[in-house]
Structures are given as C-alpha cells and as structure tokens.
A = this chain, B = another copy of it.
C-alpha cells in the first residue's frame, strides 16, 4: 500500500443481521481500530447469506477500497458462504488444507466431541489465502493479498474475531499500510459542567490539526484530540503538547483517558494503596458490584456487596432503621448509612451505598431517576444526589457510573492527602 489515503470497507455477513436478530457490534469495534493504523473506513455493508449478493458486494468493495474486512460466514453450514464468494470473485479454487484439517480434528479431539463432516469445509482455502489461526473457535480466518488489495476474512463471533484481529490481523496491517496516521486521545473529566470545561481549554478549539472536540457522556465531559500526520511520531508530536496543556488546566477533574473506565481507574487506585471496598445497593440491584468485578484482579480489593432491595434487608445488613423511618429509604442519610454499614460489615476501607428510584413507579413520592449515593471511609461519610432520565436501565447505569466517579474523587483526594 503506497502513501496517502488507504480506504477500507467492512462487510458484515449474515442473514441474521438483516433480520434484526443481532446487532452488528463487530463493525463498530473494528471501525474504532482502523484510524490508528492509518486506514480510513469509508463503507460498512451488511449482506445476507446469499452467494450472489456476497460476490456483488465483494466486487464492489474491490473497486473502491484497498482493505476489505469481512466478518461472519465462516461456519460449517451450507449458509456459510464467505469462502466460496471470495474464491469466486478472485477466480480461485477451494481445496482442503491438510494442516488446517489436522488442526481442526485436534480441536474436536481435545473437546472429546466427534467432528461432523460439515466442518471439513472450514479447513478449505484458496491458494492465495494465508490461514489465520482461531484458538477460540473452529473457523480459521483468511489473509488474502492480490493486486494491491488486502482481503481479511474473520469469524462473526465477537470474542473469536477480536482475538484474531489483535493477534493476527492488526500486526500484519501495521506492516503493510503506509497511510496517514490518525492519533486520537480522549481526556475524560468529571465534576464540572461542559461549559466550564470548554472555557478552560477555549484556545485549543477551532484548530484543524490537532482537532479538539468536546462531548457530554454518562461518565462526564470528554475532550477528544485528533492529530493526522504521515507517521505515528509526527502525529504524536502534534498531539502531545496540546494534551499536556489541557492536562495541566484540568488536572483536578481528569479521571482517565481513552478506553479507561471508572471501574478500572477506581480499581487501580484501590490496588496501589492496598485499600479494600464493599458496596450496598438498592435501586442499582447489583449492577455496581457487577461493574466493579468486570475488572480482572478486582478480587484483590473488592470484599463484596449486598443488594438490599427491601427496608428489612437494609436493616438486617446494619442500616439504622430509625433513619429509614425519619428520612425515608430514598434519602442521603440512608445512602450514607448504607455505605457505613457495608464498610463495617465487610471490614473494608471504603464503602458505597446507593438508594433511589429505578422506576417505572415513584417511591415515597419521589420520581423515577431520583438517586442518592453515599460514600464512607475511616471516620467519615458524604453523599451526593443524582437525577437521571426516568428509564429503569438508564437509571441503573448512570447511578453506577456516578457512584464510581464520586468514589474515584474521594480516593484521589485521599492520595493527594
């Protein structure tokens, strides 16, 4: 691939996509990984399990894109036609690859299940296709180079595809593609309104390169820098000084960058300082604990949680019943006491308590979306109120993000002393 723009196209293959049975998350996942490689995604096409439509889409893609990435259609059934379509479009013949077949048979042997005749199909390839190993499934991928085009075929199962992309495809593309490198850096803040954040970095807006955008997200205000240059080094030299200046101005409210999440950042701070955490949740119903434990290694700092959906359960877990009587179960006082009680109950350094109204019905006359978050530590508690859109699942997700970011703030303050 020469200099300048490298156009890419994604073909998401499968009739289940066109029937609306599954959402094409693969395309978005891949799309976000192309710009850093200097590849510009121009088209995404969803096409069904139809040989005619598949070959049509592939021919069109060859006519307008240098890099063509397909997902899906590599299974063992008669519907899986990606291999056949690529062979037909390139005028090559499919034959069984003995090495692939042996590998496939070994895969089934390891699992102690007999290999069906149908699976032999997955061991087939065309001469110009380099097989890409798929340790997470039975469908090997293909890497095909022809006339300045690269065709990559990957399975549709997300965790198989992602593993293959990271280990086989991305490194090869890095070698091949010499396009305009696009570097992005997202700086994530919390605790200041969008307008005020914008004012603090006003002077960096309206520039072409690096371009600065500002976005309001459930986990705070994000600033995204985009730099374009012929090489990674040049792009970085454009991006770095602006990033440093922004970091300096927003230091106290920055909690993370890029794909860092509140749960990862909270986990890192807890781990570094050998602190432990326990949570008691009502309206979030376990989503807070589940989000915390999505992070690998969370068992080193997460002691556990209680989902106390009833007042009795809260009292049984150490919450002062008089506070519930006096202030109601949806109150800052009860949120703080839940944090205190669970912290003591699990003998943790920090505790979080969440109480609120997930909806659809109001509670104690408070509308859905009303949430109180309590945080407890050695010798202190505090609470914040949240008001979110009155959608049950939105309330749960927003409240969890909010609680984690408030905890991060408390932890960061402790670290700074």
Taking a contact as CB atoms under 8 Å apart, the answer to whether B45 and A20 are in contact is no
8 Å CB contact of A306 from B20, B42, B305 = B305
Enumerate chain B residues within 8 angstroms of A285, measured Cβ to Cβ: 289-290, 292-294, 298, 302
Give Cα distance in the complex from A308 to B20, angstroms: 38
Instruction: Indicate the member of A47, A291, A307 with the most B CB atoms within 10 Å.
Output: A307
Give Cα distance in the complex from A45 to B47, angstroms: 9
- Among the stretches A23-31, A92-100, A147-155, the one at the interface with B is A23-31
Taking a contact as CB atoms under 8 Å apart, the answer to whether B310 and A303 are in contact is yes
Instruction: Indicate the member of A20, A43, A281, A286 with the most B CB atoms within 10 Å.
Output: A286
Give Cα distance in the complex from A42 to B45, angstroms: 10
Give Cα distance in the complex from A391 to B303, angstroms: 22
Taking a contact as CB atoms under 8 Å apart, the answer to whether A20 and B43 are in contact is no
- Among the stretches A202-210, A229-237, A372-380, A392-400, the one at the interface with B is A392-400
Q: Does A19 belong to the interface (CB within 8 Å)?
A: yes
Q: Does A172 belong to the interface (CB within 8 Å)?
A: no
Give Cα distance in the complex from A43 to B44, angstroms: 10
Enumerate chain B residues within 8 angstroms of A29, measured Cβ to Cβ: 20
Known pairs A42-B53, A293-B285, A306-B307; A35 contacts B19 (CB<8 A)? yes
In the complex, residue of chain B having the shortest beta-carbon distance to the beta carbon of A157? B389
8 Å CB contact of A289 from B27, B43, B44, B307 = B307
Taking a contact as CB atoms under 8 Å apart, the answer to whether A304 and B313 are in contact is yes
Copy number in this complex? 2
Enumerate chain B residues within 8 angstroms of A30, measured Cβ to Cβ: 20
Enumerate chain B residues within 8 angstroms of A288, measured Cβ to Cβ: 286
Give Cα distance in the complex from A316 to B360, angstroms: 34
Q: Does A159 belong to the interface (CB within 8 Å)?
A: yes
Give Cα distance in the complex from A46 to B43, angstroms: 6
Q: Please give the distance in Å from A70's CB to the nearest CB on chain B.
A: 15
Q: Does A89 belong to the interface (CB within 8 Å)?
A: no
Q: Does A22 belong to the interface (CB within 8 Å)?
A: yes
Known pairs A159-B394, A307-B286, A360-B296; A19 contacts B47 (CB<8 A)? no
Enumerate chain B residues within 8 angstroms of A24, measured Cβ to Cβ: 23-24, 27-28, 44
Interface size classification for chain A: 35 or more
In the complex, residue of chain B having the shortest beta-carbon distance to the beta carbon of A283? B293
Enumerate chain B residues within 8 angstroms of A279, measured Cβ to Cβ: 307
Q: Please give the distance in Å from A138's CB to the nearest CB on chain B.
A: 13
Taking a contact as CB atoms under 8 Å apart, the answer to whether A20 and B33 are in contact is yes
In the complex, residue of chain B having the shortest beta-carbon distance to the beta carbon of A295? B392
Instruction: Indicate the member of A44, A284, A302, A316 with the most B CB atoms within 10 Å.
Output: A44
Enumerate chain B residues within 8 angstroms of A321, measured Cβ to Cβ: none
Q: Please give the distance in Å from A322's CB to the nearest CB on chain B.
A: 21
Q: Does A130 belong to the interface (CB within 8 Å)?
A: no
Contacting residues of chain A (295-337) with chain B, CB-CB under 8 angstroms: 296, 298-299, 302-310, 313, 316
A interface residues (Cβ-Cβ under 8 A, vs B): 12, 17-25, 27-35, 41-48, 53, 136, 159, 184, 279, 281, 284-294, 296, 298-299, 302-310, 313, 316, 345-346, 358-360, 389, 391-394, 396
Q: Top 9 A-B pairs ranked by shortest CB distance?
A: A285-B293, A20-B32, A286-B289, A20-B31, A44-B46, A286-B290, A286-B286, A305-B307, A287-B290
